[in-house]
């Protein structure tokens, strides 16, 4: 195959003429003993093949082209990854040891633990739900550092253990999913307080003695008649104290339990051990090392955590065996909150990126083919397929149909009626030099029985068409 200087456009497909007598007779089986000639023409080269001594016809991009096209995207990804690592490193350093009584970092709570130790209150850190449940008792304050990390089952089991223990439970900034399980009857408002420093505005002794404190954060609401609400912002408190429903001996609680300092607690152990309560803090700031010396944070923290001689500091951990007990959770329960809005934002971003980077549709651009293809090559290839499949009937039908289509306009018959014997045969007979010929077997007869008959049919059709054209 040779390249043509005037190659056809890629948007145009070479015409595929119907097989004629001259175009299909050549691929038929040659007579016995005749030398076999190689098929004429050539096939298209492979997209990745090279012609000897000529350039490659491959359209695949080279590595250099790939790098040129993608280097902008690669650079953007590298910059994003570097920024993410830097932000994570900075934030992890600042948040390291958050609410850990053993940590001296800004967000740790070692300072309040040491102040409690000076007042005779022991602090013990636990990391599993079972340890927290077994430590609950009338002489113990149980602080839950991050209630939202607990599963529903962990929250229910922890509430059951602390409800009738007679001790105090301090929940640090529980969100809407967890506060309803750990403190039934309490709901968390979606909007946080505007100011972080609030005044007590309540009769709770610990809050009155502490004064203003950094407890502004999540706000809560409850219908419990004996609940004490403090540090109110826009009508909702950021600190709640809920007395236990029953005393240790089973009698109803009075709800008039007073707050005692550690020294008072040592003088009246019976009163503190007989009554229990739950304290809900809307923000953890009063426990942080870097905020403890501001306002009344230290006073409020020491009074809330030092009313019992023992403090159990529960730091929920993902290594807790109870975390794996999620057999009853559905798929949507395992997805973090906010997944719907996150997915919606990603969808909008993807649509905008597609509109920005999508290829604009325009008119077709003509492009020269790399090679020229002879029109007869298609007919020859189709004839070889017919011979390989022994489909003489299809080949004969194609030859007769193409001949009738070409003869009809020559004798004045509409193309739509070219395949109707009553319309085509009389018109053909009148144009022949030898009248009275029966053309029906030739144009509408049965298929030939062998290859020789097919070759004879092609020759006769070719001769008929030549006679009509010259008459």
**Among 56-65, 190-199, 304-313, 339-348, which is the least confidently predicted range?**
56-65
HSE-up (13 A, CA, CB side) for residue 52: 1
- The C-alpha atoms of residue 202 and residue 238 are separated, in whole angstroms, by 12
What distance lies between CA 100 and its chain's CA centroid? 36
- The C-alpha atoms of residue 110 and residue 104 are separated, in whole angstroms, by 6
- The C-alpha atoms of residue 342 and residue 81 are separated, in whole angstroms, by 20
- The C-alpha atoms of residue 451 and residue 392 are separated, in whole angstroms, by 7
pLDDT band at 219 (very low <50, low <70, confident <90, very high): very high
**Among 128-132, 133-137, 274-278, 466-470, which is the least confidently predicted range?**
274-278
**Does the pLDDT at position 108 exceed 70?**
yes
Mean pLDDT throughout 118-145? 92
Residue in 275, 189, 192, 279 with CA at minimum distance from that of residue 229: 279
The shares of helix, strand and coil residues in the chain, as percent rounded to the nearest 5, are: 45, 10, 45
pLDDT, mean over the chain? 79
HSE-up (13 A, CA, CB side) for residue 415: 4
pLDDT band at 374 (very low <50, low <70, confident <90, very high): confident
Residue that is written with structure tokens 């049919």 in the block: 457
Residue in 207, 199, 168, 183 with CA at minimum distance from that of residue 305: 168
**Does the pLDDT at position 17 exceed 50?**
no
Give the Cβ contact number of residue 14 at 10 Å. Answer: 13
User: Over pLDDT 70: what percentage of the chain?
Assistant: 76
Residue 66 confidence (pLDDT): 81
Residue 383 confidence (pLDDT): 85
Residue in 151, 197, 140, 205 with CA at minimum distance from that of residue 178: 151
Mean pLDDT throughout 211-232? 90
- The C-alpha atoms of residue 376 and residue 15 are separated, in whole angstroms, by 10
Residue 380 confidence (pLDDT): 86
Tokens of 33: 């003993």
- The C-alpha atoms of residue 217 and residue 37 are separated, in whole angstroms, by 93
Running DSSP on this structure, what letter comes out for residue 229? E
Q: What are 320-350's pLDDT values in tens digits?
A: 766 655 555 667 666 777 778 888 999 999 9
- The C-alpha atoms of residue 165 and residue 167 are separated, in whole angstroms, by 5
Mean pLDDT throughout 275-291? 90
Please, which residues bridge with residue 277 across strands?
Answer: 168, 243
Tokens of 268: 């009246």
Tokens of 331: 């798929």
pLDDT band at 247 (very low <50, low <70, confident <90, very high): very low
Burial 158-176 (b: 16+ CB within 10 A, else e): bbebbbebbbbbbbbbbee
Burial 302-319 (b: 16+ CB within 10 A, else e): bbbbbbbbebbbbbbeee
pLDDT band at 226 (very low <50, low <70, confident <90, very high): confident
Give the residue with greater pLDDT, 72 vs 252: 72
Tokens of 335: 């997805």
Residue 96 confidence (pLDDT): 67
Report whether 218 contacts 186 (CB < 8 A).
no
Residue that is written with structure tokens 């076999």 in the block: 36
Q: Which residues contact 355 (CB under 8 A, 6 or more apart)?
A: none
């Amino acid at each position: 195959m040779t390249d043509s200087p005037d190659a056809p456009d890629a948007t145009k497909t070479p015409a595929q003429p119907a097989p004629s007598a001259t175009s299909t007779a050549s691929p038929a089986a040659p007579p016995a003993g005749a030398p076999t000639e190689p098929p004429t023409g050539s096939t298209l080269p492979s997209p990745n093949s090279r012609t000897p001594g000529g350039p490659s016809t491959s359209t695949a991009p080279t590595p250099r082209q790939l790098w040129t096209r993608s280097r902008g995207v690669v650079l953007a990804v590298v910059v994003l990854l570097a920024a993410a690592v830097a932000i994570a490193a900075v934030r992890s350093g600042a948040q390291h040891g958050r609410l850990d009584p053993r940590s001296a970092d800004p967000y740790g709570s070692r300072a309040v633990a040491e102040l409690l130790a000076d007042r005779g209150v022991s602090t013990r850190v636990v990391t599993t739900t079972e340890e927290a449940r077994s430590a609950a008792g009338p002489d113990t304050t149980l602080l839950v550092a991050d209630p939202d990390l607990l599963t529903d089952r962990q929250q229910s089991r922890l509430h059951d253990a602390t409800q009738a223990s007679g001790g105090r439970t301090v929940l640090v900034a529980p969100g809407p999913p967890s506060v309803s399980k750990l403190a039934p009857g309490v709901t968390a408002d979606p909007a946080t307080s505007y100011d972080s420093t609030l005044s007590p505005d309540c009769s709770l002794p610990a809050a009155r003695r502490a004064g203003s404190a950094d407890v502004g954060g999540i706000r809560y609401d409850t219908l419990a008649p004996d609940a004490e609400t403090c540090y109110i912002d826009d009508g909702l408190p950021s600190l709640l104290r809920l007395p236990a429903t029953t005393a240790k001996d089973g009698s109803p609680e009075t709800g008039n339990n007073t707050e005692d300092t550690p020294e008072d607690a040592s003088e009246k152990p019976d009163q503190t051990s007989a009554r229990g309560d739950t304290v809900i803090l809307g923000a953890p700031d009063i426990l942080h090392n870097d905020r403890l010396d501001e306002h009344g944070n230290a006073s409020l923290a020491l009074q809330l955590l030092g009313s019992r001689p023992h403090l159990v500091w529960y730091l929920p951990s993902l290594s807790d065996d109870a975390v794996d007990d999620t057999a009853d959770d559905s798929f949507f329960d395992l997805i973090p909150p906010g997944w719907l809005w996150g997915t919606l934002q990603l969808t909008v971003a993807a649509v905008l990126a597609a509109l920005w980077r999508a290829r604009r549709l325009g008119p077709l651009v003509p492009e020269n083919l790399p090679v020229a293809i002879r029109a007869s090559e298609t007919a020859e290839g189709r004839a070889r397929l017919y011979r390989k499949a022994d489909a003489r009937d299809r080949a004969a039908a194609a030859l007769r149909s193409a001949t009738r289509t070409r003869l009809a306009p020559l004798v004045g018959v509409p193309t739509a009626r070219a395949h109707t014997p009553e319309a085509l045969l009389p018109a053909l007979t009148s144009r022949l030099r030898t009248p009275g010929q029966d053309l029906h077997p030739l144009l509408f007869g049965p298929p030939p029985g062998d290859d020789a008959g097919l070759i004879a049919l092609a020759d006769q059709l070719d001769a008929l068409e030549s006679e009509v054209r010259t008459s």
